[in-house]
Amino acid sequence: MTRIVFIGFLLLVSGLAQADVLVVDEVRQVERMELPKNGQRMQDIESSFGQPEQRHQAIGEPPITRWDYKDYSVYFEHELVLFSVLHPGGVIERS
């Protein structure tokens, strides 16, 4: 019985280690990508990155708008970028 528990523990720990590596890979890749930066204006994003695949209506106060590109989304407050977010698991490059 203790062997089964020990084997289960090892499998659980090895799965967690792989997830940590995957997150580290994503962080490293984001650092290499050119994404819209906080404080840039909507018109500058569109001229630099092209038209988004989808534009969502502004919601809330202050108004928050989201533009979706292929691999990431850009969130704006009024006309300025708040942050850019990668879509889950969509961009991992293996070298």
- pLDDT, tens only, 72-84: 999 999 999 999 9
Q: In which band, very low, low, confident or very high, does the pLDDT at 88 lie, cut at 50, 70 and 90? A: confident
| pTM for the model | 0.67
Is residue 41 in a domain?
yes
Residues 60 and 62: their CA atoms lie apart, in Å, by: 6
The vertex-58 CA angle with 53 and 74, nearest 5°, equals: 45
- Residue 8: give the domain boundaries: 1-32
Residues 81 and 42 in one domain: yes
Is residue 75 in a domain?
yes
Q: Which of 24-33, 39-48, 72-81, 83-92 has the lowest mean pLDDT?
A: 24-33
Residues 54 and 82 in one domain: yes
Cβ atoms within 10 A of the Cβ of 32, count? 7
The H or E element that residue 48 is part of is: helix 42-49
Residues 41 and 82 in one domain: yes
**Residues, the chain:** 95
- The answer to whether 73 touches 67, Cβ cutoff 8 Å, is yes
- The structural domain count of the chain equals 2
Of 95 and 57, the structure prediction assigns the larger pLDDT to: 57
